[in-house]
Amino acid sequence: MISIIVPTLNEAHGLADTLAPLQPLRGGLAEIIVVDGGSSDNTLGIAEPLADRLLSSTRGRARQMNTGAAAAQGDTLLFLHADTRIDARALAQLREVATGHETSWGRFDVQPDRQRLVFRVITTLMNWRSCITGIATGDQAIFVQRQLFEQVGGYPDIALMEDIALSRQLKSLDKPACIRTPVTIAMRYWEQHGILRSMLRMWQLRLAYFFDTPPEKLHRRYYRD
């Protein structure tokens, strides 16, 4: 069984669109675990009928995902952002990878939810970079076998870059699977903050993290902007 773990914080807008396509999988193929970090909107009300388990955690994506993993019953853990859409084809490929035992973790290609050429270019570059480097981001719906996840201690409890930190640990133990059937990611951040500005900010943050800038400082910089 696949345990789909969705961290939320004020995700009432769009959460139903993420969880609704997963409903046919409940009751055998997958379980849906929503872990809320203290939402003040109607996130909990939307999630309750659409999830097998609705948990609360202290705020922080890494902590929330670790909370969900600790409660999960599945052998495969899939960490899905609240604004990332995954369809039946992608999940079927995940089941093939999980049962084939060729690799113990991986991620999906991504496609944009807005069909502008610039967004297609951005997501294509994201896919190439990830496959070449073996580093995945949370938008790419990271999945991992429970045993390996527990072996590396789960997500590092840091304020930002927890996905990159986890990828580094997993990559040192096994090569990731790059599933080509894409998940759909929201591009609203890029539209709201400007495409070039957003791209430069992402690279600046990753470069700073590479040079050991504390994640707490990166978190303040990211959300201040």
> What pLDDT score does 74 carry?
94
Confidence band, pLDDT 50/70/90 cuts, at residue 29: confident
> What pLDDT score does 117 carry?
92
Q: Using the predicted structure, report yes or no on whether residue 191 has a pLDDT greater than 60.
A: yes
**pLDDT per position as a tens digit, 123-169:** 999 999 999 999 999 999 999 999 999 999 999 998 888 999 999 99
Q: Using the predicted structure, report yes or no on whether residue 208 has a pLDDT greater than 70.
A: no
Q: Using the predicted structure, report yes or no on whether residue 211 has a pLDDT greater than 60.
A: no
The arrangement of secondary structure in 2-193, i.e. its CATH architecture, is Alpha-Beta Complex (3.90)
> What share of the chain has pLDDT > 90, as a percent?
68
What average pLDDT does range 186-198 have in this prediction? 75
> What pLDDT score does 98 carry?
82
> What pLDDT score does 54 carry?
97
Average pLDDT, the chain: 89
User: For the ranges 72-76, 102-106, 188-192, 200-204, which has the lowest average pLDDT?
Assistant: 200-204
> What pLDDT score does 142 carry?
97
> What pLDDT score does 170 carry?
96
Confidence band, pLDDT 50/70/90 cuts, at residue 9: very high
User: For the ranges 148-157, 172-181, 199-208, which has the lowest average pLDDT?
Assistant: 199-208
Q: Where are the domains of the chain?
A: 2-193
Residue found under tokens 């948990």: 55
SS3 per residue for the chain: CEEEEEEECCCCCCHHHHHHHHHHHECCCEEEEEEECCCCCCHHHHHHHHCCEEEECCCCHHHHHHHHHHHCCCCEEEECCCCEECCHHHHHHHHHHHHHCCCCEEEEEEEECCCCHHHHHHHHHHHHHHHHHCCCCHHHCCEEEHHHHHHCCCCCCCCCCHHHHHHHHHHCCCCCEEEEEEEEECCHHHHHHCHHHHHHHHHHHHHHHHCCCCHHHHHHHHHHC
Q: What is the pTM of this model?
A: 0.91
What average pLDDT does range 114-123 have in this prediction? 90
> What pLDDT score does 45 carry?
97
Q: 193 or 119: whose pLDDT is higher?
A: 119
> What pLDDT score does 88 carry?
87
Q: Using the predicted structure, report yes or no on whether residue 214 has a pLDDT greater than 90.
A: no
